[in-house]
A and B are shown apart, each in its own frame.
Chain A
Amino acid sequence: METFLQTLASGILIGGLYAIIGIGMTLIMGVLNIINLAHGQILMISMYITWVLWHYFGIDPYMSIFITIPTVFLIAEGISKYFLHPLIDKDSILPENQVLMTVGIGMVIMELARTIFTSDFKSISPTTTLRGEKIDIPGYLQNSIHIANISISIPLLIAFSISIFLTLGLFLFLTKTDKGRSVRATAQDKGAAALMGISTAKITILTYGIGSALDAAAGSLLLPIYYLYPDVGPIFTVKAFVITILGGLGSTVGAIFGGLILGLAETFGATYISMGYKDAVGLIIFLLVLVFFPGGLKRFTKV
């Protein structure tokens, strides 16, 4: 029973973090009509920035989201404006082929990372040296809190809390502001959105930025609990893809459920089957949902 509750708690916490990765992908899919196969690689950019900020500047990984979010947002706006939008703007280029562009972007990011950082595994080291002075990692990064007999790792708890906070912020933005409503309008009916005076080109570029900014937050939050190397991107691209499908393609609320389901599937798989099959269990759940609920979990969704 304890193991079960422990697994459940970890699954939900990691699921919350997965949710923001999935929501980012889902937003992009809704507005740009493409599967962003560079999603995990963009997340990796944020992980490397977070790592550099800790390793060379001694900045707390959680504080670094104030840097990774705007930086990745701007990088993604550039990618979207100069590489994706010119293709999406042309009806004659099929979405299938537009997706290939994201594959190319992902590869370039990966190879750049390999060139700059080599293929070595990196993670947040317990200490770093800044101008000859030793700095220890903030203590809370290595601690857990205990409720009854369940121990909850503080980094996971922080990641979950910040994810919830960002998700709520995103929902307020999407439902209560004109910009946010314009994002939803563009996803629902691009032609009608244009008739409302919305510049759908600008919204498309903005949406790729926002989706990637969520990804960036996830990258910073993941680094303390994950390892980092140039090929880590595709792992998260696949997770984001699975979440998006589970969530019913283009539904942000669905993506939250998708994230939670994937998080739970992975942790239960790791606990009850084998650590090594963690990712396989996620994929099996994915296939089961596809078979039994072909539309994903879209029925729960409005936004």
Chain B
Amino acid sequence: MLKVNHVDMSYGDLQVLWDVSFEVRQGEIIVLVGANGAGKSSILKTISNIKNPSHGEIIFEDFNLVTAQPHEIIEHGVIHVPEGRHLFNEMTVEENLIMGSLSQRAKPRRNEMIDYCFGLFPRLKERRKQIAGTLSGGEQQMVAIARGLMALPKILMLDEPSLGLAPILVQEIFEIVRNVSKEGITILLVEQNVRQTLAFCDRAYVLENGRVTKEGTGNELLNDEYVREAYLGI
């Protein structure tokens, strides 16, 4: 479904991705794990073409994302929920959701999808007229995910959705991710919460200093000696 082939990317003179290759298949939950600064967010930015790769190709269903405009990428159903949520803080919850459905594909189904999202997140429904910046961290993350769903994703890329949340909320967010996956939406998840995400993903890639250094199923990596030592502290 999504193929990332030999991608290099730099911020100015600083190269941060080196020959990155991986693949996401229809319906999978794929996790990219790696330490802070490993380049996880940079990969997602390259896929949504907020940043241009200097080398390599990114193919989504026969469509080359490297040469596409960000809005075309969204139109194709590749949706990026950024790290740190990045809500429109002075807009209401409902307006934030509306902003998720600007594409031609999503706009006709806007009202239906708002209802769907409020069904998925009843807590947001109560707060639909509340200004997003005044929500709690967990609620804001829900808005960020819901705003992503409004765009009718075929693949939803979530950048550290558990960042800064209390453990109980982390559980809730991962539960939501699993539910979204059950709806048939492919998931590309970036996480530092290695143990928990490896436990429920289909496959995972380990990223170190901008390079993919390991890959395998969640279980394989959970049992991998190097991963256990480096990421699970065992």
Contacts and interface: CB of A to CB of B under 8 A. Distances in A.
Contact of A189 (B69, B70, B86): B86
Contacts of B227: none
Contacts of A191: 50, 82, 86
12 contacts: A178-B107, A184-B88, A188-B89, A189-B87, A191-B86, A192-B82, A194-B50, A194-B70, A197-B70, A197-B71, A197-B74, A199-B69
A188 B90 CA distance: 7
B94 to A, nearest CB: 11
Given A195-B80, A197-B103, A181 B98 contact: yes
Interface residues of B, number: 25
Contacts of A134: none
Given A191-B82, A191-B86, A195-B86, A185 B99 contact: yes
Interface in A168-185: 178, 181-182, 184-185
B75 interface: yes
Interface string A184-213: 110011011111111100000000000000
Interface of A: 178, 181-182, 184-185, 188-189, 191-199, 302-303
Contacts of A178: 98, 102, 107
A191 B90 CA distance: 15
A185 B100 CA distance: 11
A302 B131 contact: yes
Given A194-B50, A195-B50, A184 B91 contact: yes
A192 B100 contact: no
Given A195-B70, A199-B71, A302 B80 contact: no
Nearest to A182: B102
Contacts of B86: 189, 191-192, 195
B197 interface: no
A182 B95 CA distance: 11
Nearest to A192: B86
Contacts of B103: 197
Interface string B125-145: 000000100000000000000
Contacts of B131: 302
B102 A189 contact: no
A170 B60 CA distance: 40
A196 B74 contact: yes
B102 A195 contact: no
